Structure 1
Amino acid sequence: MNVHFEDTTFDYQTLRAMSYATYGGAEPGECLTTVENIGEGNFEEWFTEWRRTADRVAETARDALDGEHHETARGAFFRAHNYYRTAEFFLDSDDPRRRPTYERSRETFRSALDLLDNPVEQVEIPYEDTTLPGYWFSPETGGDDGDDSSEQSCPTVVCLGGFDSIAEELYFLCGVPSALSRGYSCLVFDGPGQGAPLRVAGLRARPDWEAVVGPVLDFLEGKSAVDETRIALLGASMGGYYAPRAAAFDERVSACIAFDHCFDLWSASAHGQERIAELIDYAPGVVVNALAELGARFDPGARWQLQNSSWVFGTDAASLRRTLREYSLRDVADRITCPTLALAGEDDHLIPLPLVYEFVDAVSGPTTLRVFTAEEGAGEHCQLGNLSLAHGEIYDWLDERFSDV
C-alpha cells in the first residue's frame, strides 16, 4: 500500500499517522496536506511540516475549549497529539527539539482525556527503583439505578508497545475505545526503552520483559475491578515479542495477542540477506560501523534504524548484532501455555511473514493465526491501513476466549 512517498519508511510513517483516524486521532486531509510539503527522505522538512500541522490543530483545540465546545476540542487535541508524535519521530535522540515536542504530544493527549465522558486515571507503576507511567481506562459500567458499579470486576487488556512507540499512541494502535465498548478495562504504559522512561529517565530496552510485566500485573492485583482470571497481554509491533516473552514466565497471563508477531529480531533483520548477514556477523566491529554509517547516508530507513537502535538499545551497529539475538522467543515459546493469537501481514516490511509460522508452531498452548492481505488493506505491519478489521479480529477472539472463563 503506497500513500505518498517512494521511500518505504517515510510512506509507512505517513500511513501510521493516518490510520489513527479510526478513533479520531487523525484526519486524512490534514495528513496528506502535510506530507505534500515534505521532500523524499528529508528529515528536517518532516519535523517542520508535522510540527506546523500539530501547532495549528492544537490551537483549534484550545479555541474550542475556550468556547466550551468540548467534543470539538477533544478531537483536535487527539489529532494534535498524533501529529506531535509524528513530528518527533525522526529527530535524533539528542536533538534539543525532541523532548519539548514529545512533551507537547503528551500534554495534548492528556487534554483530550480530560474531555472524555468516562474518567481516565494516570498511573505510576512501581518498577525496580522507579515507576513506569501509564493510563488506566475503565469501561462505563454504571447502571440505571444510579449505583456506582465501578468496582465490578471485568476482563482487562494490558497494552504493550514496541521499538518506537509511546504509551499514548497505544490508545489508537491497540483500539482502546473498541475494548472499552466491549466491557474491557485497559492499561497502557511505557516500559524501559519506550516513551518517558527512555526520554526522561534514560532507561534502555531489555529482553527479559517478564521483569517488566511482572510488576505491572502486581499493580493490577491492587485493583478490585480487575478479574484476575481474565487478563490479556496485547503486544503491538515489537510488543509482539514482549507480550509472549512475559506470558512464557507468568501464569497470571490468561491470553496473549502478538500484534504483529515478533518471533526473532535477528532472523527478521537478516531475512532475504542471510549471506550478507553472515559476512557482517564475522566482520570486525569497525568495519560494521563504517558500513552502517555509509548506508545511513543513502537510505532514510537505515539512518533511522541505526539512530533509534543506538538510543533504545544503547549499542552501536557492531554490538547490535549480539543485542538482536537476545530478542528471540525460540528458547521460551514452548513455555507459553495460555491461548495465543498471532497476527501477521502478508506485506509486512519489518517482520517477514514466514516467521509467524515458526512462532505458532513453537508455542505449546492453543494458537490462532490470522494473516491479513493487501486486498483487505491490512497487509502492512500491525495492519495499519485497516485497524477496524484488525481490532475486530483481536477482540472477537478475546471475547470467545474469555466467555468460557
Structure 2
Amino acid sequence: MKYSPFIYTGSLVATLLRQCLAAGGSEANSSQYQDPVLLLSSDPMFHFRMLAPFGQAASGGVDIAPMLGVAKAIEAGNMESFTEEFYKLAVKTKAQAEDPANSFDPINVRDTWFSASTYYRKASNYVLRDFDDPRIKDYWVDQTEAFNKGIAALTIPGERLLIPAPEGNFTVEAVWYAASHEQVKAPTLIVGNGFDAAQEDSYHVYCGPALARGWNCITYEGPGQPTVRRNQNIGFIPNWELAVTPVVDWLMQEKAHRVDTEKLALLGNSLGGYLAARATAFEPRIKAALLVGGIWNFGSTLFNTMVPEPLAASFETGDYEAFDEGIYELRNSTGIPTSLAWAIDQALWAFNTRSPAEMFNKALEFKVEDFIEKIKVPVFVGDGEFDVSVAGQPEKVAQALGDKATLHKFMGVAGYHVQAGAGQELTRTLFAWLNKTLG
C-alpha cells in the first residue's frame, strides 16, 4: 500500500465515506502495493504516527523497546487507546527522569526527559476534536517542561525564545541551539514544521544532525502551529514571512557574532514546504531553502483528500451550512478511518475555526504559484516514493523553480511522508546538498 497520513483505509461507512475511499485509496486496491517496512499497527495512521518518532531515537528522543510496547498495546483505530498508552508511557518515563537514584547520570537523565517529552506529544495527537479538552494544554505543558529539562542538559544548553512579530500581531516561539562555545560565525539552519508537528520534534530530526556538522540551528513556530495555537489562540496564516522575518531579524541582531550570513538556510517540513517557500520569496536574507515535501497547493490537496463529491458541490455553490453539516456528519460516522477523523480535527483546530467551510477557504489561500517567481535562491525539493499526500506536487514546485531547484525523490524505506523513520538518509542528503550549494 502506498502510504500517506491522509490515505483512507478501513471499513466503509455510508456512500460519502465510500467516495472518500475511492478518491484516496481503498482496501480493495491496497494489495497492489507493499509497505517497505514492518508495520507497527494495522491502522495506517497509527503506523505513521509511531514510525516518525522511531527516527528520533538516535538523538535521545525515544527508547525503542518502550515504543514497541506501546505499539503492541494500542488498539488499531481507537484514538483514545493511542492517547492513553502514550500518556501512561510519558508519566512512567517522567518518573524515571525524576528518580534521585538516576541523578548521577546526567546524560541518561537528559535523554529520559527528551523521551518523556516525545511521549507527551504523541499522547496529544488525537485530543483536538473538542477545543475545550483540557488535555490539549495540559499535555503540552508537560511536554514543554520535560523538553526544557532535556535541552538544559545539552553540552551547550538550548535557549527558549519569544520573538515579537509586530506586523503579524503575534509572538514567534523559538529555540536557539549554538554549534559551539566559540564566538565564531557558523552556518545556520532555520527549521520550521508544518501542519501538526512541533519544534521539539525538529530538534531530534534536524537540529541534532545540524549541530553535529557544525551548524547553528534555530527552530520556530508561528500561527496555527502547536505552541502558538495553544498559547496565543491564533490559527494559520498564508503570509508566512511574517513569522520567519522576525526570526532572521533576531539572528542578525542578537547572534550576529555567531551567524555566517552567507550560509543562512531555511528548512520547511511537510506543510512547511509551502511555508518555507513563501518566506523565502519575501525574505532576501535567506541564501538557500529546503522543502522537505514540496507543496504546490495545500488547500486543494486538503480538500481533495477530505471532501467527497456531494459535499464538494455544496462548497462550490456556497452552501456552507450544508457543507459544514455534511463534514460533521462524516466525522461522526461509525468506522471513519483514523486518518480522515484526524485530518478533520487537526485542520479545524489549526485554523482556529469550528466551520469546515471557513477552514477550507483559508487553506485555499496557501498556493505556491502565487509567489514562486519571487524565489531567487537555490531550493532543495524533497519527495517520497510512498508519499501520496503530495503526489505530483514536488515535481510541480521544482518545474516552476527551473534551474534554481534540485528535486530529490527518496525511495524505498525512506519513501514515507517527510522520510519518517529514515532520518539518517534524510539529513545526510540535505547536508550534502547544503555543503555543495553554500560551500
Among 300, 308, 324, which residue is 1:289 paired with? 324
Rounded to whole Å, the distance in 2 between the matches of 1:399 and 1:53 is 39
Matched, 1:182 2:213: yes
Cα distance in 1 for partners of 2:157, 2:406 equals 34
Deviation at 1:270, TM superposition (A): 4.9
Q: Please state how far the C-alpha of 1:40 moved relative to its aligned partner.
A: 1.9
| Structure-2 separation of matches of 1:20 and 1:384 | 10
**Pairing 1:380–2:412 present:** no
State the match for 1:253 in structure 2.
286
Confirm or deny that 1:97 pairs with 2:135: yes
User: Matches of 2:96 and 2:307 in 1, distance apart?
Assistant: 50
Q: Any conservation in 1 of the 2:191–2:266 contact (CA below 8 Å)?
A: yes
Q: Name 2:297's counterpart in structure 1.
A: 264
The match for 2:357 among 307, 311, 318 is: 318
Report percent identity of matched pairs. Answer: 26
What SS class does the counterpart of residue 98 from structure 1 fall into?
Answer: helix
Aligned residue identity for 1:69:
D
1:130: how far off? 4.6
Tell me which residue corresponds to 1:331: 370
The answer on whether the counterparts of 2:234 and 2:352 sit within 8 Å (CA) in structure 1 is no
Q: CA offset at residue 271 of structure 1?
A: 5.2
Post-superposition CA distance 1:333-374 (Å, at most 9, x none): 11111000001111114222x11111001125611111111x
Between 31-40 and 354-363, report the one with greater CA deviation: 31-40
1:218 pairs with 245, 249, 252, which one?
249
Could you say if the C-alpha distance between residues 273 and 306 of structure 1 is closer, same or farther in structure 2, counting changes exceeding 3 Å?
closer
Q: Which one-letter code corresponds to 2:396 in the other structure?
A: E
2:405 counterpart (350, 367, 388): 367
The equivalent residue for 1:145 is: none
Amino acid at match of 1:183: G
Distance 2:142 2:195 in 1: 21
What residue in structure 2 maps to residue 344 of structure 1?
383
Kept after mapping to 1: 8 A contact 2:303/2:360:
no
Q: Tell me if structure 1 keeps the 8 A contact 2:224–2:234.
A: yes
2:178 aligns with 138
Distance (whole Å) between structure 2 residues aligned to residue 361 and residue 245 of structure 1: 16
Gaps of 5+ in 1: 143-148
Among candidates 156, 167, 177, match of residue 118 of structure 1: 156
In structure 2, distance between residues paired with 1:95 and 1:272: 26
Higher RCO, 1 vs 2 (CA within 8 Å, ≥6 residues apart): 2
| Paired letter, 2:230 | R
CA-based RMSD of the aligned residues comes to 2.0
Give the drift of 1:278.
5.3
Return closer, same or farther for 1:274/1:80 CA change in 2, 3 Å cut-off: closer
- Write the letter of the residue equivalent to 2:324: N
Moved more, 158-167 or 32-41: 32-41
Of 187, 193, 198, the residue aligned with 1:166 is 198
How many residues are paired up? 391
**Which digits, 9 at most, give the CA deviation of each residue in 1:208-243, with x for residues without a partner?**
001111111111111121112221001011111110
Query: Counterparts of 2:324 and 2:45 in 1: how far apart (Å)?
Result: 21
Q: Distance in 2 between matches of 1:347 and 1:116?
A: 35
In structure 1, distance between residues paired with 2:79 and 2:63: 22
Amino acid at match of 2:272: G
3-state SS of 2:203 partner = helix
Mapped partners of 2:308, 2:247: distance in 1: 41
**Amino acid in the other structure paired with 2:62:** A
Aligned to 2:230: 199
Q: 1:356/1:393 Cα in 2 relative to 1: closer, same or farther (>3 Å)?
A: same
Over residues 175-197 of structure 1, what are the superposed CA-to-partner deviations in whole Å (9 max), with x where a residue is unaligned? 21111111110111121111221
Report how far residue 161 of structure 1 moved: 1.1
Cα distance in 2 for partners of 1:113, 1:21 equals 16
Give 1:274 deviation, angstroms.
9.7
Are residues 1:32 and 2:68 paired?
yes
Is contact 2:103-2:109 (8 Å) kept?
Answer: no
SS of alignment partner, residue 197 of structure 1: helix
TM-score where L is the length of structure 2: 0.84
Query: 1:171 and 1:33 mapped to 2: Cα distance?
Result: 24
Distance in 2, matches of 1:106 and 1:187, equals 16
Change in Cα spacing, 1:272 to 1:239, as seen in structure 2 (3 Å) is closer
How many angstroms apart in 1 are the aligned matches of 2:325 and 2:266? 39
Question: Where in structure 2 are there 5+ consecutive unaligned residues?
Answer: 1-34
